[in-house]
Amino acid sequence: MSLRDVNLELKFSKGEQLGKKRIRRRALGALKITEDQLQSQCEEYLNIIGLPFIRFPSTLYRKIFGPYNTLSAQVRGWLSTYMKGVPDLTILHPEGRYLCVELKTQRGKLSQGQKGFAKRVPVTVCRSFEGFRDLVDRWRVAETSPPPHH
């Protein structure tokens, strides 16, 4: 083996190590997703399995409650009363049941409005797509008791 071969081998090894570091960094970065990305994944899953859902797009919240909205204070107050705290997804079951889900990142926290809503209506917080998928799969096959007869 010549000195040139050894140098090429060393350069390749260093490049390979740098490549592995980049791949590792990308993989770790992929674990950090935004709530909007998580919501898109969850909505796509619901569409695939055919469960209808209700959602208020985050862009709607930003337009209504953001600093550059053009709504009057009265209209914003009215919308705030009825919209703040509403979960990200309300999933509907063919049997008439529903499941309210608030999607959060690993570090995400519930707002005061979300905590208030969850006191009145059961809401489940999901922090990953896998957790969401497991929750929905268990919920959609769960037995429900028949409604009481009057």
Best CA proximity match to 137, nearest among 126, 147, 146: 126
Q: What is the mean pLDDT of the chain?
A: 80
- 58 shares a domain with 7: no
Confidence of residue 18 (pLDDT cuts 50, 70, 90): low
Q: Is 41 found in the same domain as 18?
A: no
Q: What's the CA gap between 143 and 150, in Å, rounded?
A: 21
Confidence of residue 34 (pLDDT cuts 50, 70, 90): very high
Q: Which pLDDT score is estimated for 19?
A: 52
End-to-end CA distance of the chain: 91
3-state SS assignment for residue 41:
helix
In a domain, 149, yes or no: no
Is 105 a member of any domain? yes
The size of the chain, in residues, is 150
Instruction: Identify the pLDDT of residue 104.
Output: 95
- Structural domains in the chain (count): 2
Confidence of residue 150 (pLDDT cuts 50, 70, 90): very low
Range of the domain at 125: 32-141
Is the pLDDT score of 2 beyond 70?
no
Higher pLDDT, 98 or 25: 98
**Cα(43)–Cα(21) distance, rounded to whole angstroms?**
33
